[in-house]
Structure 1
Amino acid sequence: MQSARLKYIFDPLCGWCYASALALEALSEAYPDLLELMPSGLFSDAGARVMTPEWAHHAWSNDQRIEAMTGQPFSAAYQRNILQGPGTRFDSGAMNRALTAIHALDPLLEPLVLRRLQWARYVDGLDTSNAMVVAAECARQVAGLDAIELAGRLEHDAELALQATARINATRDLMRRAGVNGVPVLLLQGGEGEYIVSGAALYGDGAELVSGIARLLAAPSPARAR
């Protein structure tokens, strides 16, 4: 398939996107030059909120389903510090800006940083809605990155904010055109065809997904499907 692209649509705070972390890791290793991360902004700006007991209960119910289905861990520290933390924000804005900054530095680093941020939240129990926490985790993953400087950019750099918003708007335009709503979603685009991958196909170890993508890339033009 000529001019193929793999477009992974996600939100850093989406538990089901965390569920697809192993599949994304496999894709990033198998097809680093084809893969493009596309943040949807689902839980930023108007989608952000303060953590309430009701939302925490909803999140934890989903988290337990994800852990049972995929083995992805959700720690007691996450439950205590994030879900039960008073006044905790549920806001992916700082992560969207950080991932945009990392993308500009090197797109190949972006999946690694996303994985680090997800692990920091769901296992280490760190508040990844906080810009300083996000910057520190990015600096742990990317050699030479200054956490304090990045934290300042996440909070005050208007140009970075505009770039992050532009990425989100481009993702939302793509979702409308492709007729998809939730995340995570993987779109394989190339030639005259487009193949949409969602649901259980993204929640395994990635081996089957990578094999399926390889077959589609070898085909002349994939049929549009879900």
Structure 2
Amino acid sequence: MTVTVLVDPLCGWCYGAHPALDWLRARDDVTLALLPVGLFAGPGAFAIDATFATHAWSADQRIAALTGQPFSTAYRMQVLKAGTGLVDSGPATLALTAVHLTAPEREPDALAAIQAARYVGGRDIADPAVLAEILDEADVAPAAARFRAADAALHESASARMAAGRAAMARHGLRGVPALVAGGDEGRGFNGAPLFGDRDNLLRVIRDAAA
């Protein structure tokens, strides 16, 4: 079964979904792919202020309680409370696209590394220099080199992927991420709620959607 996961690198719930995604990825009967939607890229980007910081930390605590994914003090102090950061997933989406073009099977690993750098390491994943370091640390050097070069073809590919992700959301009536599309282009899309529950139910929902 092919399962496409619609994501944004700056989505806390996408970070919270990693345990379920890792479980799916380990299965022999599932082929997992990522498709970024650019939720916080371009016109969707904004500066982090005190109101957002409070809202985000509250949501993060719910995610942590539900999934066990950690949100560190370093993240709270250096990202949310620094007063200088941006919620801008454009650079991280470009980094993921560099991985997609050079080692597509490693893209879920790269997403996990990028999000852990933010939510655990307290690093600014809207900073291209930081993202290049993360790709190096994740052992995807060709992707890191491609990202540092940031050629026009890479930007075009990232834009095309985000457009495809948004089109998939519209086609399946999806309003947020993470979300999933099972069964390829002819399959069915559904919201990410099953990622945060019983694994058997998640697999059942995917099989029904892919049928």
Same fold (TM over 0.5): yes
Aligned to 1:196: 190
Counterpart contact for 1:27–1:210, Cα < 8 Å: no
Residue 54 (structure 2) aligned to one of 54, 57, 72: 57
Q: Verify: 1:159 aligned to 2:156, yes or no.
A: no
CA deviation profile, 1:92-115 (whole Å, cap 9, x unmatched) = 111100111101112110000000
May I ask how many residue pairs the two structures share in their alignment? 211
> Partners in 2 of 1:146 and 1:171 — Cα distance?
21
Query: What amino acid maps onto 1:87 in structure 2?
Result: T
Q: Among 168, 183, 186, which residue is 2:162 paired with? A: 168
* Contact 2:98-2:143 within 8 A present in 1 as well: no
Q: CA distance change for structure 1 residues 27 and 152 in 2, over 3 Å: closer, same or farther?
A: same
**1:194: Cα distance to partner?**
2.1
Alignment RMSD, CA only? 2.3
Structure 1 gaps of 5+ residues are: none
Name the residue aligned to 1:16. 13
Percent identity reads 38
1:180 aligns with one of 155, 174, 185: 174
Distance 1:151 1:7 in 2: 23
Q: Is the 8 A contact 2:7 2:35 kept in 1?
A: yes
C-alpha distance 181-86 of structure 1, shift in aligned 2 (>3 A): same
Q: State the distance in 1 between where 2:17 and 2:128 align.
A: 24
Q: CA deviation at 1:175?
A: 1.0
Distance 1:118 1:193, change over 3 A: closer
Matched, 1:208 2:205: no
Paired residue type of 1:162: E
Question: Deviations for 1:128-172, whole angstroms, at most 9, x for unmatched residues?
Answer: 11101111111111254485x455334xx2221111000000111
Which structure has more RCO (C-alpha within 8 Å, separation ≥ 6)?
Answer: 1
Task: Say which SS state the counterpart of residue 121 (structure 2) adopts.
Answer: coil
Whether the aligned pair in 2 keeps the contact of 1:32 and 1:108 (CA below 8 Å) is no
3-state DSSP class of the match of 1:30? coil
2:91 counterpart of 1:94: yes
Helix, strand or coil: the match of 2:26? helix
Q: Normalization by structure 2: what TM-score?
A: 0.90
Residue 72 of structure 1 aligns with an amino acid whose one-letter code is: Q
Gaps of 5+ in 2: none
- How far 1:191 sits from its partner (Å)? 8.8
**What TM-score does the superposition give when structure 1 sets the normalisation length?**
0.84
